[in-house]
Structure 1
Amino acid sequence: MLPEHSTMATSDFTGTIMLSDPMFYAVAIPAVLISSISKGGLGGGLGVLSVPLMSLVIPPTQAAAIMLPILCFIDLFALKSFRGTFDKENLKTLIPAALLGIVIGTLFFNKLSTAHIKLLVGAISIVFAFNWIYQTLFGRSQKVKPAGRVRGLIYGAVAGFTSFNVHAGGPPINMYLLPQKMDKTLFVGTTVIFFTVVNYTKLIPYAFLGLLDFSNLKASLVLMVLAPIGVKIGVWAHHKLRDNWFYWICYVALFITGLKLSYEGISAIIQA
């Protein structure tokens, strides 16, 4: 039997109702575009915004289930754009650790309610957004920190766990890779390979847990058309545009969304 927070009965936005409600599209379209643009050329870190945005109108677990096939589809386009460009040594450490994190996330899936998931998503969003805003405002320079096996295993496992629950593997991976200050194309290519392996692996436990049901897959298919558009914009931005404004808008939105979700999660836990 599925846990309470993963049943589709927990939301009014299911099946035909979800696909016909303008509020769903108001958050889902930006969520998919931001994720595909980010994965297409900005390292994928802003993909953490997708589940929090969609969680404003549907349960976080359902939002994650809808986004997973879309992310897998995005990965195919991103792989084509950055094929052959990746850091092999980093991936040899990060990928096995991430697979362990996915296993841990699967085992703990039944232990987390909707309120706990909202609080988890909100807390990750706030911390990641605040850290970026703080670093940007105060211009703290960061020394180059080479790859380390122990740190790579820790960050990789955390990324696998958070990616499984809310597709928020970007923050821990960025916290590990960015200090290495590698070439931006090498950095993006490495994250593309990493998340392709992680996302396609997650299809197995998601299917086992019953999250890839017909209504969620139908929503995924409707939104999937935006994926190649976003990836092309992301690749173009990677080579042509300064991304300051894009990052500021997304991170401020992520911070505000994180506050809202954290408030809802804490309120629900207190009232339980």
Structure 2
Amino acid sequence: MTGAEIGVFAVAVPAVVFAGVSKGGFGSGAAFASATILALVVPPGQALGIMLPLLMAIDLATLRPYWRRWSWPDARLLVLGALPGVAVGAALYRVAEPDHFRLLIGGISLAFVIWQLGVRARLFRPPRGGLSTGAGMFAGLVAGFTSFVSHAGGPPAAVYLLSRGLDKTRFQATTVLIFWLINIAKFVPYSFLGIFTVQTLMLDLLLLPFALLGAWLGVVAHRLVPERVFFAVTYALLTVTGIRLIIDGLS
């Protein structure tokens, strides 16, 4: 490896483990922080290409522990809404410049932090009784789009699922199923858009053990680690990296 490749690998390893922990145990809402962090050291498109195969591997690793513990009607609704969102993301990718994606990923990161802090401060509250079917389709549309352009589909999906009153494990299992299917849908347009390269796939092979380690840790942490501690770290990472990406995109 060259010095630059070693630097990318050094940043990618903790980012990938973090993604595995988030997807394996905490609803995947913060998993996109890994792509945000990687976008600091590689072009945004390359960061997306590195992360998708690893996210798909994490999906497979976490399906078994949560098998059939999900809410299939909610998962189906969000996935059906996500498919046109993925198509919109693919169309935007053809016309956007790398700096546009830095701004978009940075903005999504900060919006996620603001939303979560607002929910915890009770400034925002999911509607009681659950969102409507139409709102669920819209949440799926937004999740599909943000998942395509920044692997950040977790927050809009979570807004809908939280309104459904699912328990912690059912919520986690439903999220695992949803993003397993969405990531499969993203793989084909990613391939046609040239997001995958020999370099990204080689790096994926090196990072795969760390992704699976993170997934295992996430399943364990789902039972042991307080969500407050995990998400406090997540918010700090997303705030710093989101601001940095916005500065880089504007400059």
Q: Do they superpose with TM above 0.5?
A: yes
2:12 alignment partner in structure 1? 28
Mapped pair 1:200 → 2:184: yes
Structure of greater Rg:
1
Deviations 1:227-261 (A, max 9, x none): 22111111111112212222101111101111111
SS of 1:220's equivalent?
A: helix
Once the two structures are superposed, residues 14-60 of structure 1 have per-residue CA deviations (whole angstroms, 9 ceiling, x without a partner) of xx547x63321232112111110011111000112011100110011
Q: Does 2:126 align with 1:146? A: no
Equivalent residue letter for 1:76: L
Report the Cα distance in structure 1 between the residues aligned to 2:86 and 2:228, rounded to whole angstroms: 32
* SS, match of residue 68 in structure 2: coil
CA distance in 1, matches of 2:232, 2:6: 26
Equivalent residue number for residue 234 of structure 2: 250
Look up the equivalent residue of 1:175 and give its one-letter code.
Answer: V
Match of 2:110 among 121, 126, 146: 126
Separation in 2, partners of 1:147, 1:55 = 34
For residue 34 of structure 1, what is the amino acid of its counterpart?
F
Report the secondary structure of 1:46's partner residue.
Answer: coil
Matched, 1:215 2:203: no
Amino acid at match of 1:210: G
Unpaired segments ≥5 residues, structure 1: 1-15, 268-272
CA contact (8 A) 1:101 1:156 kept: yes
**2:171 paired residue number:** 187
Distance 2:73 2:67 in 1: 17
Asked if structure 1 preserves the Cα contact closer than 8 Å seen for 2:46 and 2:196, the reply is: no
Q: Does 1:87 align with 2:71?
A: yes
Contact 1:61-1:166 within 8 A present in 2 as well: no
* Deviations, residues 115-150 of structure 1 (Å, cap 9, x unaligned): 1000000000001012223433x3558453414211
For 2:53 and 2:180, the matched residues in 1 are separated by 11
Q: 2:49, 2:190 within 8 Å by CA — same for their partners in 1?
A: yes
Hey, what does 1:228 align to over in structure 2? 212
Q: How does 1:50-69 map to 2 (within 5 A)?
A: 50-69=34-53
Moved over 2 A (4+): 20-23, 133-136, 138-145
In the alignment, which residue of structure 1 is the partner of 2:145?
A: 161
Equivalent position SS for 1:249: helix
Give the alignment's TM-score, normalised by structure 2: 0.94
SS at the partner of 1:68? Answer: helix
Provide Cα deviations, 1:87-127, integer angstroms capped at 9, x if missing partner: 12112211111111111111221111011000000000001
Asked if the contact 2:143/2:153 (under 8 Å) is kept, the reply is yes
One-letter amino acid of the structure 2 residue matched with residue 30 of structure 1: P
Partners of 2:29 and 2:132 in 1: how far apart? 21
Cα distance in 2 between the residues matched to 1:204 and 1:90: 24
Q: State how far apart, in whole Å, the 1-side matches of 2:218 and 2:96 are.
A: 34
Match of 2:83 in 1: 99
Confirm whether residue 171 of structure 1 aligns to residue 155 of structure 2. yes
TM-score (ref. length: structure 1): 0.87
- 2:130·2:160 contact (CA, 8 Å) conserved in 1? no
Query: Distance in 1 between the 2:208 and 2:160 partners?
Result: 30
